[in-house]
Amino acid sequence: MTGLLYTEKFGEIDEKTGKVRSQLYVCSDPDDGMHIAGIRHEPVKGDPRNPLGRTKVGTDLVAYWKLFFTTLFPNEQLQTTGVK
Amino acid sequence: MPAGFHTVTDAPKPKRFILYGPPKTVKTPLALAYGAYLRSLNPNSRTLYVAADRGSEDLPSLPDPSWREWIDVWKFSSPLDKDYDPYKDAVQVAMTDWKAKDANYDLIIWDTFAITLEQILQYISDKEFFAGQGGSKHVSFGDPTLPKGHPAKLNIPMPGDYNGVNPDLP
């Protein structure tokens, strides 16, 4: 398993506009109390399933995956894109 | 090696993710965005969307309408269809070599696997596969001497586990 990711959404006040905006978080943090089918997910240090912790995603969902893969698999990125 | 290229040490390996969370927490758009990310790396990349949720085959959660062109949708049969068998459907999808069908398939999204499992369990109950057991005994795999709940012992669900009602009872 590469990633076991839990999504949460909260309304947060935008400091610029003062309006409430939905904000997405993706969690893969051992402190988040994640359970799958009644089994507590216990990550091992360095386990790639839990690399980023709780990440504020915002509206750019594609950017989350870019962050995920460039953080975890930088060499694979180089091979895929073939760019410096 | 061409100038400007780095040495690559890791070949890309298949990735598997489980996305879970409360309803309406952007799980499907986030999964589809993975396909968009792969598309940014390979313009020919395609995504297979396995639509298990009712109505999901229309991709109502698609974040960007322009993404639709690189997404192929697989729709399961419904309980109203002749020869409906969600287990057979699921195995067929899982065992298919999608890369052989289209080398550009880089991502399969199963939305949602929980619904598929619910349908399979309901199908088992509806078909009364365990009617010969009198409906009062579990069929077990593994070591029968192990205590209930032990991971090496698995009880197959029966209708009563889901508060199923036996219409033959008075």
Number of neighbours of residue A55 by Cβ within 10 angstroms: 18
Query: Which of A28-42, B15-29, B50-64, B93-107 is predicted least confidently?
Result: A28-42
* Token reading at B32: 């589809």
Interchain contact, A65 vs B15, CB within 8 Å: no
**Residue A10, min C-alpha distance to chain B (Å):** 9
| pLDDT tens per residue, range B148-159 | 767 666 677 766
What's the N-to-C CA distance of chain B in angstroms? 80
Match 């009062």 to its residue by tokens.
Answer: B136
Identify the pLDDT of residue B96. 93
Determine the average pLDDT of the residues in B95-103.
Answer: 94
pLDDT band, very low/low/confident/very high, at B139 (cuts 50, 70, 90)? low
Q: Compute the mean pLDDT over every residue in chain B, rounded to the nearest whole number.
A: 81
Match 């975890």 to its residue by tokens.
Answer: A72
Q: Which amino acid is at A31?
A: D
Q: Compute the mean pLDDT over every residue in chain A, rounded to the nearest whole number.
A: 71
Q: Whole-prediction pTM value?
A: 0.74
* Token reading at B83: 């020869």
Indicate the residue of B10, B17, B42 with minimum beta-carbon distance to A73.
B10
Determine the average pLDDT of the residues in B31-41.
Answer: 94
* Chain A residues close to B26, C-beta within 8 Å: 7, 9, 24, 57, 61
Distance CA B137, CA B87 (A): 22
| pLDDT tens per residue, range B10-32 | 566 788 888 888 888 999 999 99
| Residue in A closest to B30 by C-alpha | A61
